[in-house]
Amino acid sequence: MIRYALACESGHEFEGWFSASADFDDQAARGQLTCPVCDSRGVRKQIMAPALSGTTKHQPAENAIARRAMMMEAMSRVRNHVKNNFDYVGDRFAAEARAIHDGQSEERGIYGEATPTEVKSLVADGVPVAPLPPEPPKKTEIN
């Protein structure tokens, strides 16, 4: 696997993993690469230093803050997409997810609440579930 540092035309930085060096060029040519923050298809490779064994890689504090902000923005977009496009079923989530999986209810995206025990049971039975990213903290709640 090859890891490339990538950036979009808006300046968002992220990583991409490819099986071979030609895979980036192929996927970019087919329009399959998008920025995880803004969905821009203007993705390019950044200049990278080769990873050398025995060296320690230190990220500047600003870079870590920017990466955290990008991740929070991406999680917020996922959460908003689910809330705007999926049906909220409240505490009936486990029962409704199982009914959809078993073909007893209409196929659709849902979200709601489930106990850890209910989630473990759904996963054990092959029902596809994933946690919804948490609400981002309000600026007034951040130190």
Identify the pLDDT of residue 55: 52
Confidence of residue 105 (pLDDT cuts 50, 70, 90): very high
Identify the pLDDT of residue 57: 58
Flag whether pLDDT at 18 surpasses 90. no
Identify the pLDDT of residue 141: 61
Distance CA 50, CA 140 (A): 41
The string of DSSP letters for 12-67 reads -EEEEEESSHHHHHHHHHTT----TTT--S-EEEPP-PPP-TT------HHHHHHH
Identify the pLDDT of residue 59: 60
- Looking at per-residue pLDDT, the higher value among 13 and 63 belongs to 13
DSSP summary character for residue 89:
E
| pLDDT, tens digit (0-9, with 9 covering 90-100), for 123-142 | 999 999 999 888 877 767 66
Confidence of residue 31 (pLDDT cuts 50, 70, 90): confident
Domain layout of the chain by residue ranges? 1-47+59-85, 86-127
Arithmetic mean of pLDDT, 69-92: 91
CA angle 47-52-58, nearest 5°?
Answer: 70
Flag whether pLDDT at 56 surpasses 60. no
Identify the pLDDT of residue 58: 59
Question: To which residue do tokens 């850890």 refer?
Answer: 116
